[in-house]
Copies of this chain bind each other. A is one copy, B any other.
Amino acid sequence: MASGDPAKGEGKSAICGQCHGKNGISIVPIYPNLAGQKEQYLVLALQAYRSGERVNMAMTPHARKLTDEDIADLAAFYASMDPSGGGIKHTSKTN
Which A residues fall within an 8 A CB radius of B? 26, 29-33, 35-41, 44, 54, 82-85
Contact = CB atoms under 8 A, between A and B. Distances in A.
Q: How many copies does the complex hold?
A: 2
Contacts of A84: 36, 82-84
A32 B36 contact: no
Contact of A39 (B29, B37, B40): B29
A82 B31 CA distance: 18
Contact of A32 (B29, B35, B37): B37
B41 A30 contact: yes
Contacts of A44: 30
Chain B CB count within 10 A is highest, among A31, A54, A83, A84, for A83
Nearest to A82: B84
